[in-house]
């Protein structure tokens, strides 16, 4: 038997089967809704041969979308019944192909999609406010009414010798119209994955068993399929548009959220960011002395000369006047201060003991005010200076000199190099300074 003859036999067998009862017809409509872009004849033949297919197309279509039929795969043969010999072709399910991923329209409508789709179809068809299921039924009824005259053409020829020939024409037309309206509404509702409880259909499909001849079945099947196809293509376009709108809305929401977070962070920087500009890790012992991480160094001011440490350096605010006696120009032993450092025998000027909270507070202020400036000066002077200190190897001190921090009242602290500095510094300070560098105070 030729292939076209075999397909005609299959068609003639399955057609009366799907109209034998209302349940059988509903079952077929649910299957056909998944293949709504295919003709009734093709869908019916696929239903007869493999009702488990999901997405089918001929080889040429799969190739256009970047998929290729698997080697050895057997396609489903279909044809148009009237021109079977000329229209035979093979369809392959997506599971029989490989290649680029194909994303089909998502017909699993969530509540938001149903609401938006409902709004669109109600507005487009100028319907009264209603649910999506009610809109589907109204649109189906309107579309069938518009196309019913075309369906009724040649009806007298199709019902010749049939029970319908004896019925009044008006009653027959009304019965056929109700059957088509309910069938289309059910077809569209099933493609939208609506439950049976959500569907709005009448009792028109109760008379489906009377459509038991090939001409009547073919006419009914063709009309229901084509009307349903037109409605679903419109719905599909709306669904894709809504999907794009939702993606854009999501991107805008993400952008606005990022912008709000950026504005919030810029207006209210966290404490760690604020503290990041300040020096951390200052530890004081008993309210006196220098930070625990710092090393003692020689400090020079123009009023009191060299100091072995920075405890009594001249403050920019003059707070050191409360920590020491006024400079009279003569030491306790009668030596003039102008002679200090000349003979290597002078001692560091004696300073009163610091015990008051006020002095500790002032030294703290001095630490905060000049520390950043000193660090910047030292960093510019030598790249190896980090974390507030610069250390010089002991065996190189005599060759290169030593760096000291000069603190002068009313001026920015600065660095000075004393050539062959260790011997000179010992001579000026009296041997009490420490080898090893600078410390910010």
Tell me the pLDDT tens digit for each residue of 125-146.
999 878 899 999 999 999 999 9
Q: Does 392 lie in the same domain as 325?
A: yes
Lowest-pLDDT range of 4-8, 115-119, 417-421: 417-421
What pLDDT shows up at residue 368?
43
Residue 409 confidence (pLDDT) above 70: no
Q: Does 1 lie in the same domain as 98?
A: yes
Phi, psi of 386, rounded to the nearest 5 degrees: -140, 155
Tokens linked to 82: 């009237």
Please, which residues have CB within 8 angstroms of residue 275's CB and are 6 or more apart in sequence?
none
Q: Does 340 lie in the same domain as 311?
A: yes
Report the alpha-carbon distance of residue 6 to residue 88 in Å, rounded.
11
Q: Give the CA distances from residue 215 to residues 181, 219, 220, in Å, rounded to whole numbers and listed in that order.
A: 19, 6, 9
Q: Does 120 lie in the same domain as 236?
A: yes
Assigned domain for 273 exists: no
Q: Does 216 lie in the same domain as 335?
A: no
Report the alpha-carbon distance of residue 309 to residue 5 in Å, rounded.
112
Assigned domain for 255 exists: no
Q: Does 220 lie in the same domain as 95?
A: no
Q: Does 422 lie in the same domain as 322?
A: yes
Q: Does 228 lie in the same domain as 193?
A: yes
Mean pLDDT of 32-58: 95
Assigned domain for 279 exists: no
Assigned domain for 430 exists: yes
Q: Does 223 lie in the same domain as 310?
A: no
Q: List, in sequence order, every residue forming a beta bridge with 56; answer none if it has no partner.
A: 93
Q: How confident is the model at residue 159 (pLDDT cuts 50, 70, 90)?
A: confident
Query: Of 218, 178, 289, nearest to 8 (Cα)?
Result: 218
Q: List, in sequence order, every residue forming a beta bridge with 99; answer none if it has no partner.
A: 67
Mean pLDDT of 219-244: 95
Residue 390 confidence (pLDDT) above 90: no
Assigned domain for 253 exists: no
Query: Of 370, 348, 353, 373, nearest to 288 (Cα)?
Result: 353
Neighbour count for residue 191 (Cβ, 10 Å): 24
For residue 385, what are the domain limits?
Answer: 299-350+357-439
Asked which of 205, 229, 246 is the last residue of a domain, the reply is: 246
Q: How confident is the model at residue 163 (pLDDT cuts 50, 70, 90)?
A: confident
Assigned domain for 292 exists: no
Assigned domain for 330 exists: yes
Asked which of 220, 246, 272 is the last residue of a domain, the reply is: 246
Specify the higher pLDDT residue, 163 or 381: 163
Burial class of 140 by CB neighbour count within 10 A (0 to 12, 13 to 18, 19+): buried
Query: Of 195, 201, 196, nearest to 140 (Cα)?
Result: 201
Neighbour count for residue 258 (Cβ, 10 Å): 10
Q: Does 124 lie in the same domain as 73?
A: no
What pLDDT shows up at residue 103?
86
First to last CA, the chain: 107
Residue-wise pLDDT tens digits, 324-378: 445 555 555 555 554 544 444 445 555 545 454 445 444 445 444 444 454 454 4
Phi, psi of 113, rounded to the nearest 5 degrees: -65, -45
Q: How confident is the model at residue 121 (pLDDT cuts 50, 70, 90)?
A: very high
Asked which of 246, 278, 311 is the last residue of a domain, the reply is: 246
Torsion of CA 316, 319, 323, 325, to 10 degrees: 80
Mean pLDDT of 23-29: 95
Residue 213 confidence (pLDDT) above 90: yes
Q: Does 166 lie in the same domain as 68?
A: no
Assigned domain for 77 exists: yes
In terms of phi and psi (left: phi > 0; alpha: psi -120 to 50; beta: otherwise), the region of 140 is alpha
Report the alpha-carbon distance of residue 184 to residue 326 in Å, rounded.
109
Q: How confident is the model at residue 91 (pLDDT cuts 50, 70, 90)?
A: very high
Report the domain count for the chain. 3
Specify the higher pLDDT residue, 382 or 134: 134
What pLDDT shows up at residue 277?
52
Q: Does 220 lie in the same domain as 332?
A: no
- Say what angle helices 40-49 and 214-267 make with each other, to 10 degrees: 90
Phi, psi of 416, rounded to the nearest 5 degrees: -135, 140
Lowest-pLDDT range of 69-73, 74-78, 236-240, 256-260: 256-260
């Amino acid at each position: 038997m030729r292939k076209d003859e075999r397909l005609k036999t299959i068609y003639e067998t399955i057609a009366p089967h799907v109209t034998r009862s209302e349940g059988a017809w509903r079952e077929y409509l649910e299957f056909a809704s998944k293949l709504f872009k295919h003709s009734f004849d093709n869908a019916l033949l696929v239903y007869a041969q493999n009702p488990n297919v999901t997405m089918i197309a001929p080889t040429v279509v799969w190739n256009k979308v970047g998929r290729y039929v698997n080697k050895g795969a057997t396609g489903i043969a279909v044809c148009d019944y009237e021109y079977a010999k000329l229209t035979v072709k093979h369809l392959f399910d997506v599971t029989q192909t490989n290649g680029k991923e194909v994303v089909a329209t998502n017909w699993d409508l969530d509540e938001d999609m149903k609401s938006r789709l409902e709004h669109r179809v109600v507005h487009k068809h100028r319907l009264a406010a209603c649910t999506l299921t009610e809109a589907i039924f109204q649109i189906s009824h309107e579309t069938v009414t518009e196309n019913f005259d075309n369906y009724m053409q040649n009806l007298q020829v199709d019902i010749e010798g049939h029970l319908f020939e004896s019925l009044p024409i008006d009653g027959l037309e009304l019965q056929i119209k109700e059957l088509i309206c309910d069938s289309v509404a059910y077809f569209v509702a099933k493609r939208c994955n609506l439950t049976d409880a959500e569907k709005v259909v009448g009792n028109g499909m109760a008379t489906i068993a009377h459509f038991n001849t090939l001409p009547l079945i073919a006419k009914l099947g063709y009309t229901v399929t084509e009307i349903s196809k037109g409605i679903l293509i419109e719905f599909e376009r709306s669904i894709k548009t809504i999907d794009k709108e939702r993606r854009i809305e999501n991107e805008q929401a993400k952008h606005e959220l990022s912008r709000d977070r950026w504005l919030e962070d810029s207006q209210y920087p966290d404490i760690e960011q604020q503290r990041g500009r300040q020096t951390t890790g200052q530890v004081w012992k008993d309210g006196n002395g220098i930070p625990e991480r710092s090393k003692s160094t020689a400090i020079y001011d123009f009023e009191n000369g060299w100091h072995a440490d920075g405890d009594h350096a001249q403050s920019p605010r003059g707070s050191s006047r409360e920590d020491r006696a006024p400079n009279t120009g003569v030491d306790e032993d009668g030596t003039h201060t102008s002679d200090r450092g000349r003979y290597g025998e002078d001692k560091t000027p004696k300073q009163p003991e610091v015990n008051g909270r006020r002095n500790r507070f002032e030294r703290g202020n001095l630490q905060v005010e000049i520390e950043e400036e000193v660090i910047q000066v030292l960093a510019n002077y030598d790249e190896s200076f980090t974390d507030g200190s610069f250390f010089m190897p002991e065996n190189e001190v005599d060759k290169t000199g030593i760096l000291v921090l000069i603190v002068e009242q009313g001026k920015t602290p600065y660095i000075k190099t004393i050539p062959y500095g260790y011997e000179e510094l010992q001579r000026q300070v009296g041997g009490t300074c420490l080898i090893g560098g600078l410390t910010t105070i």
